[in-house]
Amino acid sequence: MKPVYGPFQRSPKGETPRTPPPARPKRQPPRRGPTGWPLWAEITARAGILLLGAFGIGAILQHIDAQPEGRKPWGQADLEEPGLHLFTSTHLRALRGNADACLAALDGSDMQFTRAGPSTASTPACHWQAGVRIEQSNVGYANPVPDVASCALAATLYVWEREILQPAAQDHLGSEVTEILHYGTFSCRRVNGAQSGSWSEHAGANAIDVSGFRLADGRVIEVTDWDAGGAASAFLREVRDVSCQLFTGVLGPDYNAAHHDHFHLDMGSWQICR
């Protein structure tokens, strides 16, 4: 076989070296995107993600749109809508600054109430927004019936009775609550009755102090049963815990000695659950 000599090698017989073949152009590496992937793969992946995202958002919006009005994030509170959902507390809290929407929501419920006139208290801090007097709710309120309640407080109590209080009573006590025992709502005073400091939510009729519950079977569970153990304690502790899903302020015996005998439930601006 005839030997083939590489470039610049002399043949043993002194032949001139073969002309080297022209260098093949070097293959360019593919352009890469910021992630280090080839650019084409990155563009395809990003387009895919965008497309999936658009489909996902579309599906979510369609799902929300199919919900009843009271369950939409931008919907109004519907106090008869059964169950707690993602936006229940958002809707109830939105009622605080919107008297018309709040009264419309109460009108749409089975709560019987009358509108209260403006506060006659001489202290400017002691006024309420859209005050109402609860005449009849799904659960009774012991005499003397609560004084004025802010509309948002009344609306939240209405949902709380059905969605939190009664299920907890059934689960732990096997009975239903027929009457809520309380120390009232409106009270023109500062926090803890102090001479100075912040005004209480009670001064705006925006809080109720609940001291116990009368059951259909005749038993009375008082908040002072907090440490009694057994079903009564378990019931009270669940009510305290779950009430925080609806009320902005929930204070009980764990908070301080002043609350050893009642739950303070309010719709103020401070979120507290103790």
Binding site residues, Zn ion, CB under 5 A? 207, 209, 264
Residue the block writes with tokens 């929407």: 101
What is the three-class DSSP state of 106? helix
Q: Which is nearer to Zn ion, 37 or 255 (CB)?
A: 255
For the CB of residue 201, give the shortest distance to Zn ion in the complex, in Å: 7
Nearer to Zn ion, 228 or 258 (CB): 258
Q: Select 162 or 264, whichever has its Cβ closest to Zn ion.
A: 264
- Cα 173 to Cα 33, 113, 167: the distances in Å are 64, 30, 10
Q: What is the rounded distance in angstroms from the CA atom of residue 118 to the CA atom of residue 102?
A: 16
CA 46 to chain centre: 34
- Least separation in angstroms between residue 209's CB and Zn ion is 4
Question: By beta-carbon distance, which residue lies closest to Zn ion?
Answer: 264
CB-nearer residue toward Zn ion: 87 or 141: 141
List the one residue out of 136, 268, 158 whose CA is nearest residue 202: 268
> Which tokens in the block code for residue 227?
């440490």
* DSSP structure class, residue 108: T
Q: How far is the CB of 263 from Zn ion (least distance, A)?
A: 8
Smallest distance, Å, CB 51 to Zn ion?
A: 54
The CA distances from residue 110 to 78, 199, 216, in Å, are 11, 32, 21
The one-letter amino acid at 8: F
Distance CA 243, CA 259 (A): 16
Q: Is 206 helix (H, G, I), strand (E, B) or coil?
A: coil
Residue (103 or 164) nearer to Zn ion, CB? 164
Minimum distance between the CB of residue 241 and Zn ion, rounded to whole angstroms? Answer: 18
At 223 the three-state DSSP class reads helix
**Cβ at position 136, least distance to Zn ion in Å:** 23
User: 77 or 223: whose CB is closer to Zn ion?
Assistant: 223
